[in-house]
Amino acid sequence: MTQSGLAISDILEAQKRLQGQAIVTPLLPLPLLSEDYAGSFWVKAENLQRTGSFKFRGAYNALKQIADQDQKTPIVAASSGNHAQGIAEAARLLGLKAHIVMPHDAPEVKVNRVRRSGGIVHCYDRHHEDRNSIAQKVKNELEAHYVAPFDDWRVMAGQGTAGLDIVEQLSSIGKKADHVLICCSGGGLSAGMAVALHHHWPNCRLYTVEPEGFDDMARSLKAGKRVRNEKTSGYICDALLIPEPGEKTFPILQKHITAGLTVSDEETRQAMAYAFHECKLVLEPGGAVALAALLQNKLADWFKPGESVVAVLSGGNVAPSVLGEALESYLPLRE
Amino acid sequence: MTQSGLAISDILEAQKRLQGQAIVTPLLPLPLLSEDYAGSFWVKAENLQRTGSFKFRGAYNALKQIADQDQKTPIVAASSGNHAQGIAEAARLLGLKAHIVMPHDAPEVKVNRVRRSGGIVHCYDRHHEDRNSIAQKVKNELEAHYVAPFDDWRVMAGQGTAGLDIVEQLSSIGKKADHVLICCSGGGLSAGMAVALHHHWPNCRLYTVEPEGFDDMARSLKAGKRVRNEKTSGYICDALLIPEPGEKTFPILQKHITAGLTVSDEETRQAMAYAFHECKLVLEPGGAVALAALLQNKLADWFKPGESVVAVLSGGNVAPSVLGEALESYLPLRE
């Protein structure tokens, strides 16, 4: 609990805690794309994770460590939705009480799931109120444990187990990944996976992928310091609307990430439709950006024929209407 | 090629032929349902199979055997869509020419995929023309090989590999299945899987699941002889509208199936919506009937707490509008 930094041993311990709780999500091949690009292309389907996103991993890893020492103190988390669901469901499974600070415009499907898991929702106005100060207020009032969505070593270690999965899944068929694309908001998933993947495959190139306009990580990596986004809403990727990279995640990502890639909302919609039609998978916008980068050939500067590429699909908690819009604009890559 | 009957050795040979071609689709846990029923519930996600349904397995297994001996003679198949796509894509991969006899009202998404794979589509009127006689006519004109959608030992052996997958996937975590529910039309998938599953787990109970009104298999199993459906269309499960059980599949199923279950169109829609919201999987109506039976507790007469249950999700080739209708009527099992 007094841990500082993120080591492979933390991720291995997280993997033990998650056994039988998190789903070892499938690594699914993309046969047509692999043919078209003469490579070996895969998706890591974290949308099939418990609660519909990778966030359950980090949440359960953090809450299990808390529950082992203290069953009584409530948990407070702040999240636009997926971390909220992960925390609420992990709390339910571990017998803890969870209070979640969510923006007033969080998708209904995500708010409902938090409530279904027994989580107590505290709403705030994303445009006029500061999430962190509200979360702090709730934490102080309840004398609760606060679990940050990404800037928490326990959370990062949990997310890193998705990287261990990929290593085990590809190793079991005699392969390794040359490139891994990771959907990025605050950088918790990217940081955790980077430590796990580079421990086993030091030459694997890693990329964060963000929505255009919310490319704080890409710009921060270029600038060599954390820079902020100008906007706080207005894009379809509700899961990726964080103002700036994490204080703890950023130095890790500076060390591990080859490049920060960005995709447009329209490219994201095309990827959601591709996942629907070609993979039979439901993706939310924020869960589709890494696939979008792959489909739009944004790896062109690095990828060489014969190499292996994994795109992480980070979540599937989408309203039917939002997916429906994406499906309407679909332009198949192959006719 | 002159094989008669279906042995476990045929399915093991099919598994070798399919290696690197078919996807070993994931067996995904259903944590909430497992909690609610105090059992261990899984779905075998064959909607994630190449071409979006299990049919690729049987098609590739049949066509590989043909291609090994004869690269020149074209293939003829008759299908409402999923067998068509499986045959067309397997033919493309093996360098064969495929002609597909499809009903005029087959879903556009399925017809388009057949054409994308290079398949030549021959349309017929489902209400006024006999599919088999048209397929026979095309076969004779082209002097082609005919590959039946289910009454073909090679096809059944290919479909059976989905059963071997389940055995390997559950055995690897020290488990076995007590009940397996299989979406059923002509019975090719059910027959293949039955032989594979009962070879390893002789006490596992197997169930076919069909749409109400197209329950020819359930009524045939009860009657002890093959009986026909009265209607030939009018249900949402376009993939399961076969007039009667197969001549070759039926005796196998008589030996292996505990009961033939049926579900309504509305129950099927609820299962499609459940798969969307809870599993983040895209299912077509015919691919959702086994899950529908599970969700509607149609195993109540047989299931005991602590047992393991697998529902096969057989396909995901659905038009967005059809899935959209299912999502509109969704009544969550948990609020």
> What ipTM score was computed for the predicted complex, to two decimals?
0.95
Edge-to-edge, what's the strand order for the sheet holding A145-146? A120-124, A98-103, A75-78, A145-146
Tokens for A333, please give them: 């890559």
Whether chain B has a CB inside 8 Å of the CB on A333: the answer is no
Asked if pLDDT for residue A239 goes beyond 80, the answer is: no
- Residue A80's identity, in one-letter code, is S
Instruction: Tell me the average pLDDT across B94-118.
Output: 91
Instruction: For residue B320, give the nearest of A26, A116, A324 by CB distance.
Output: A324
* A48:B26 CB<8 A: yes
Chain B contacts in chain A segment 287-326 (CB below 8 A): 316, 320, 324
Cα angle at B271 between B267 and B275, to 5 degrees? 170
Going by C-alpha positions, the residue among B155, B253, B159 that lies closest to residue B207 is: B253
Asked if pLDDT for residue A1 goes beyond 70, the answer is: no
Interface test with B, best of A24, A54, A280 (most B CBs within 10 A): A280
Nearest CA in chain B to A315: B280
Mean pLDDT in chain B? 94
* A48:B320 CB<8 A: no
pLDDT of residue A2: 42
Cα angle at B62 between B162 and B243, to 5 degrees? 75
* A48:B116 CB<8 A: no
Longest dimension (CA), chain A: 58
Tokens for A249, please give them: 């995640």
Asked if pLDDT for residue B50 goes beyond 50, the answer is: yes
User: How crowded is residue B250: how many other Cβ atoms within 10 Å of its Cβ?
Assistant: 21
Instruction: Tell me the average pLDDT across A116-143.
Output: 91
Instruction: For residue B116, give the nearest of A109, A328, A335 by CB distance.
Output: A335
Whether chain A has a CB inside 8 Å of the CB on B72: the answer is no
**Alpha-carbon distance A48 to nearest alpha carbon in chain B (angstroms):** 6
Asked if pLDDT for residue A181 goes beyond 50, the answer is: yes
**Total beta-carbon pairs less than 8 A apart between chain A and chain B:** 60
Residue for token digits 């979006």?
Answer: B52
User: How crowded is residue A298: how many other Cβ atoms within 10 Å of its Cβ?
Assistant: 20
- Judge contact between B70 and B96, C-beta under 8 A: no
List CB contacts of B72: < 8 A, sequence separation 6 or more: none
Which chain A residues are within 8 Å of B31, Cβ to Cβ? Answer: 23, 50
Whether chain B has a CB inside 8 Å of the CB on A118: the answer is no
**Alpha-carbon distance A276 to nearest alpha carbon in chain B (angstroms):** 7
Could you tell me whether strands A145-146 and A179-183 are parallel, antiparallel, or unpaired per DSSP bridges? Answer: unpaired
pLDDT in tens, B156-165: 999 999 999 9
pLDDT band at A3 (very low <50, low <70, confident <90, very high): low
Whether chain A has a CB inside 8 Å of the CB on B23: the answer is yes
Instruction: Tell me the average pLDDT across A289-302.
Output: 97
pLDDT band at A285 (very low <50, low <70, confident <90, very high): very high
Mean pLDDT in chain A? 94
Instruction: Tell me the average pLDDT across A236-241.
Output: 73
pLDDT of residue A213: 86
Tokens for B65, please give them: 């055997």
Asked if pLDDT for residue B1 goes beyond 60, the answer is: no
Tokens for A74, please give them: 């409530």
* A280:B316 CB<8 A: yes
pLDDT of residue A149: 94
Instruction: Tell me the average pLDDT across B31-47.
Output: 97
- Judge contact between A24 and A162, C-beta under 8 A: no
Backbone φ and ψ for A203, nearest 5 degrees, come out as: -95, 0
* A48:B28 CB<8 A: yes
Asked if pLDDT for residue B241 goes beyond 50, the answer is: yes
* B31:A50 CB<8 A: yes
* B26:A29 CB<8 A: no
Interface test with A, best of B18, B280, B291 (most A CBs within 10 A): B280
Whether chain B has a CB inside 8 Å of the CB on A128: the answer is no
Instruction: Tell me the average pLDDT across B86-115.
Output: 93
Going by C-alpha positions, the residue among B301, B322, B78, B55 that lies closest to residue B162 is: B55
pLDDT of residue A34: 96
Asked if pLDDT for residue B15 goes beyond 80, the answer is: yes
List CB contacts of A202: < 8 A, sequence separation 6 or more: none
User: How crowded is residue B251: how many other Cβ atoms within 10 Å of its Cβ?
Assistant: 14
The CA distance from B56 to B64, in Å, is 12
* B280:A334 CB<8 A: no
Going by C-alpha positions, the residue among A31, A11, A9 that lies closest to residue A189 is: A11
pLDDT of residue B4: 63
pLDDT in tens, B58-87: 999 999 999 999 999 999 999 878 999 999
Whether chain B has a CB inside 8 Å of the CB on A61: the answer is no
Nearest CA in chain A to B21: A31
Going by C-alpha positions, the residue among B169, B160, B208 that lies closest to residue B8 is: B160
Asked if pLDDT for residue A4 goes beyond 70, the answer is: no
Instruction: For residue A282, give the nearest of B116, B282, B324 by CB distance.
Output: B282
**Alpha-carbon distance B233 to nearest alpha carbon in chain A (angstroms):** 25
- Residue B120's identity, in one-letter code, is I
Which chain B residues are within 8 Å of A276, Cβ to Cβ? Answer: 282, 320
pLDDT in tens, A16-33: 999 999 999 999 999 999
Instruction: Tell me the average pLDDT across B301-311.
Output: 98
pLDDT band at A230 (very low <50, low <70, confident <90, very high): confident
Asked if pLDDT for residue A51 goes beyond 50, the answer is: yes
Secondary structure class of B231 (helix, strand, coil)? coil
| More confident site: B1 or A134 | A134
Nearest CA in chain B to A283: B280
Backbone φ and ψ for A49, nearest 5 degrees, come out as: -70, 155
CA distances in angstroms from B97 to A94, B145, B205, listed in the order given: 57, 10, 40
Length of chain A: 335
How close are the terminal C-alpha atoms of chain A, in Å? 54
Asked if pLDDT for residue B279 goes beyond 80, the answer is: yes
- Judge contact between B262 and B210, C-beta under 8 A: yes
User: By CB neighbour count within 10 A (0-12 exposed, 13-18 middle, 19+ buried), where does B116 fall?
Assistant: middle
Instruction: Tell me the average pLDDT across A95-103.
Output: 95
Q: What is the DSSP string of A105-151?
A: TS-HHHHHHHHHTTPEEEEE-TTTS-HHHHHHHHHHHHTPEE--SSS
Asked if pLDDT for residue B230 goes beyond 90, the answer is: no
pLDDT of residue B322: 94
Whether chain A has a CB inside 8 Å of the CB on B282: the answer is yes
Whether chain B has a CB inside 8 Å of the CB on A175: the answer is no
Dihedral sign of CA atoms B85, B87, B92, B93 in order:
positive
Which chain A residues are within 8 Å of B316, Cβ to Cβ? Answer: 280
pLDDT of residue B3: 54
- Judge contact between B334 and A89, C-beta under 8 A: no
Instruction: Tell me the average pLDDT across A209-235.
Output: 88
Burial code of B281-319, b = ≥16 C-beta within 10 A, e = fewer? Answer: bbbbbbbbbbbbbbbbebbeeebeeebbbbbbbbbbbbe
Asked if pLDDT for residue B334 goes beyond 80, the answer is: no
**Alpha-carbon distance A278 to nearest alpha carbon in chain B (angstroms):** 7
Q: What is the DSSP string of B24-53?
A: ---EEE-HHHHHHHTSEEEEEEGGGSGGGB
DSSP summary character for residue B275? I
CA distances in angstroms from B193 to A108, B142, B216, listed in the order given: 40, 33, 19
Whether chain B has a CB inside 8 Å of the CB on A47: the answer is yes
Instruction: Tell me the average pLDDT across A255-276.
Output: 97
Helix (H) or strand (E) holding A102: strand A98-103
DSSP summary character for residue B75? E
Whether chain A has a CB inside 8 Å of the CB on B50: the answer is yes
- HSE, CB side, 13 Å, CA atoms: give it for residue A276: 31
Percent of chain A scoring above 70 in pLDDT: 97
* B320:A327 CB<8 A: yes
* B109:A277 CB<8 A: yes
- Residue A31's identity, in one-letter code, is P
List CB contacts of A281: < 8 A, sequence separation 6 or more: A43, A45, A47, A48, A275, A313, A316, B48, B280, B281, B282
Nearest CA in chain B to A114: B335
The CA distance from A331 to A298, in Å, is 18
Whether chain A has a CB inside 8 Å of the CB on B170: the answer is no
- Judge contact between A316 and A52, C-beta under 8 A: yes
pTM of the model: 0.96
pLDDT of residue A165: 98
Instruction: Tell me the average pLDDT across A91-111.
Output: 92
Burial code of A1-18, b = ≥16 C-beta within 10 A, e = fewer? Answer: eeeeebebebbebbbebb
